Amino acid sequence: MPNLVIIESPSKISSIKNCLGSGYKVVACQGHVRDLPKSTLGVDIENDFAPHYINIRGKGEIISSLKKEAKAAAKVFLATDPDREGEAISWHLANALGLPIEQTKRVSFNEITKPAVKAAIKNPRNIDLALVDSQQARRILDRIVGYKLSPFLWKTVKSGLSAGRVQSVATRIIVERENEIREFVPDEYWLLDATFRNSAVRAKFFGLSGQQSKYELKTEAETNEVINAVKNAEFKVNSVKRAVRQKNPAPPFNTSSMQQEAFKKLNFQSQYTMRIAQELYEGVNLGAENGGIHGLITYMRTDSLRISAEAADAAREFISEKYGEKYLPSQQRVYKTRENAQDAHEAIRPADVTLEPENVKKYLSSGQYKLYKLIWSRFIASQMSNAELDTVSVDILADKYIFRVNGSVLKFDGYMTVYKTDDGDDESEGSRLPDLKEGEVLSLDELIPTQKFTEPPPRYTEATLIKFLEEKGIGRPSTYAPIISTIISRGYVKRDKHSLYPTELGEITTRLMIDNFPDIVDYKFTAQMEDSLDSIADGKTSMTDVLEGFYKGFDENLHKAEEKTSKVDIVIPAEKTDIICEKCGSTMIVKNGRYGKFAACPNYPECKNTKPLDHNGAVKTDAAAAEATGLKCEKCGGNLIIRNGKYGSFYACENFPKCKFTKQITKDTGIPCPLCGSKIVTKRGRNNSFFYSCEKYPECGFSSWDQPLEQKCPKCGGMLFRKKGKNIVYCINKESCGYSAEYDATGEENE
């Protein structure tokens, strides 16, 4: 009778089986099995906020199967993810399967490697009910806010809106930055540079001789005063200061810094980063020569910068062998985790430092390789010696003014041989100055004044918003990606390339929240609520006390808001376009219709002019001229233009109706056909649905309604497909391999 190990994600089954052997059966619960009901509040506020949990719709078959497996097993181990959400899933599983809570064996591991998994199985523990209560408190808080506030927004702003405890704060942050940008008044300032004959030196005006801080030139008159004083003066080297500057490596990643750096270096959105990190943690098939399936990184939801002694020793041994002793500091580097961080897990690091990114690249998708390389490089660099730079600072005296020039040259690359950050590492080389001596006189070539104006603060990107949330203690790193995704999908925030900006809806809703629910959107209050949840997890306070403390003020504010606010008080301005109505000359506005957004004249019903819009907000017209397609008709040689029909856009001959040639518009997916190696493209099929086929179809017989993915099957290396309309992936080799998994097995989507 084998032991049973229940995990969250099906995609980890092979990895963990590989670690445990034949005496264990590994099955997956596929995330949460119980939750609060969707149709009602599900929280008994009058009875100490007791939650009413029900089995999640669609999970009945899984629960029945798990019950049978548990009944037949010698021992049952609950091995859900090693965080509060995972602890709660184990608790729900124990209840759903009828396992005694006090006797249930809970195991957790920070990495999916044989030593870690076997050690966890040998040392099971009880379910940590304090962690469970902390997760329950978060879930109940978010349910109360969402369930009570959303109807208020429907009545006062717009039907279909929803509010969230943390997403409302995130929206406020973006709204307030937009207001700062609008209200910004630029200040004038001037720069003054001096260049010299027969020299590469370009010195910048610093200020009066003897002053310690730089003096800013505010006006052209101040700048001209300096120019007039020095243009005929002697420029003499007043001082030359040389030093060796040490540059410390950055610490290994935690969840927040990984998301920020992946955005900056790889252009990955936070949600994509977390999905790829989940895949690397759960395991990738590296082929028989590398021992099959490996979990490549440690658990990716962590606040900590701590690493284990074993990991530090492995890194030091690797660095010594690959790079040499001079790249190894005399002692292990230890990084301090920020205050109030959850330190249950290590920092994000490679599970095995000897699995270098280049050596496993062929087994990884493009995204997996890029992120793994980033994590591996950052970790190795974090344990290496400092980089050293030879620096020089030269002060040049002219009349009573100082012009200064700085230079630096990389003396020893240290950690930078592996990883460079964005704080000037890439500019360390190439700024060598001539060998200037004190007292040396330089021959002035040109004085270059430049007028400048201060810039408004930039809009937030995903990286800078995550950094701000972390600094303020708002939310937790595991929630940052869902927060950003939610405020965009609900129409409160939009993306403009990398920048995030608020919509009219986001601004109006934020003003309403600030006026009526100041605590909900208060940075400090939200951060204090996170501290309260931490206190529950630490056993210092009770779930009921935290919920009671929150609900009293929230309920009072809700009643006041409902009494004083009505829908007539709130007007959402129409979204304007830059399209001019050719019939009446008005600026058209955006409307939503049965087939999506369209531009409409604001003078309706007097003027009924409309234009269909594409997903980018541009007008869909037949005048997307032939130059735009660059294609010729295969029948008559005329230009192909884009037309819009009942089932979307298509290519048509400009000589219609004389020539009735049409052609489907296809889009290259960049994924090779599994049958012939040509490109897979998307096409429009029946019922206006898209399907995938080889570009040589029907000569090549490959076609599929399911989406082909870049990732390879972790069991056999075959192509993976995502089932149409479902979050399930499966291997192309269905019969021989049989692999299938949840597409994005991150458990329940947190706020």
Residue the block writes with tokens 């990606």:
481
Among residues 664, 660, 631, the alpha carbon closest in space to that of 649 is found at 664
Host H or E run for residue 77: strand 76-78
Starting from the edge strand earliest in sequence, which strands make up the sheet with 444-453, in order?
A: 441-442, 235-247, 387-398, 401-412, 202-208, 188-196, 444-453
Answer for the pair 14, 28: CB distance below 8 angstroms, yes or no: no
Answer for the pair 221, 209: CB distance below 8 angstroms, yes or no: no
Residue the block writes with tokens 């296809």:
666
Q: What count of other Cβ atoms lies within 10 Å of the Cβ of residue 183?
A: 8
Please state, in angstroms and rounded to a whole number, the distance separating the CA atoms of residues 732 and 672: 14
Please state, in angstroms and rounded to a whole number, the distance separating the CA atoms of residues 7 and 108: 10
Q: Is 213 helix (H, G, I), strand (E, B) or coil?
A: coil
Angstrom distances, CA of residue 367 to CA of 11, 262, 277, 373, 620 = 17, 10, 9, 10, 33
Please state, in angstroms and rounded to a whole number, the distance separating the CA atoms of residues 93 and 83: 15
DSSP assignment string, 353-398: TTS-HHHHGGGS-HHHHHHHHHHHHHHHHHTSPPEEEEEEEEEEEE
Strand partners, 722: 707, 729
In eight-state DSSP terms, residue 486 is: H
Instruction: Give the tokens for residue 519.
Output: 């605590």
Residues 6+ apart with CB under 8 A from 674: 702, 708, 718, 719, 732
Instruction: Give CA 474 to chain center in angstroms.
Output: 16
Angstrom distances, CA of residue 369 to CA of 284, 359, 419, 429 = 11, 10, 16, 28
Answer for the pair 374, 262: CB distance below 8 angstroms, yes or no: yes
Which of these is catalytic: 299, 363, 492, 739? 299
Residues 6+ apart with CB under 8 A from 642: 620, 622, 624, 628, 629, 649, 650, 651, 652, 665
Q: What count of other Cβ atoms lies within 10 Å of the Cβ of residue 394?
A: 24
In eight-state DSSP terms, residue 707 is: E
Please state, in angstroms and rounded to a whole number, the distance separating the CA atoms of residues 634 and 624: 19
| 299 included as an active-site residue | yes
Angle (CA) 352 355 361, round 5°: 140
Please state, in angstroms and rounded to a whole number, the distance separating the CA atoms of residues 214 and 544: 56
Please state, in angstroms and rounded to a whole number, the distance separating the CA atoms of residues 135 and 478: 13
Around 232, how many Cα atoms within 13 Å sit in the side-chain half-sphere?
Answer: 1
Among residues 24, 9, 33, the alpha carbon closest in space to that of 105 is found at 24
Residue 86's identity, in one-letter code, is G
Torsion, Cα of 147, 175, 265, 414 (10° steps) = -100
Please state, in angstroms and rounded to a whole number, the distance separating the CA atoms of residues 609 and 614: 17
Tell me the three-class secondary structure of 649-687, residue by residue. Answer: EEEEECCCCCCCCEECCCEEEEEECCCCCCEEEEEECHH
Long-range contacts of 151-159 (CB under 8 A, 24+ apart): 152/558, 152/561, 152/562, 152/565, 153/509, 153/512, 155/562, 155/566, 155/567, 156/512, 156/565, 156/566, 156/567, 156/569, 156/570, 157/505, 157/508, 157/509, 157/512, 157/567, 157/570, 157/572, 158/505, 158/572
What amino acid positions are annotated as catalytic residues?
299
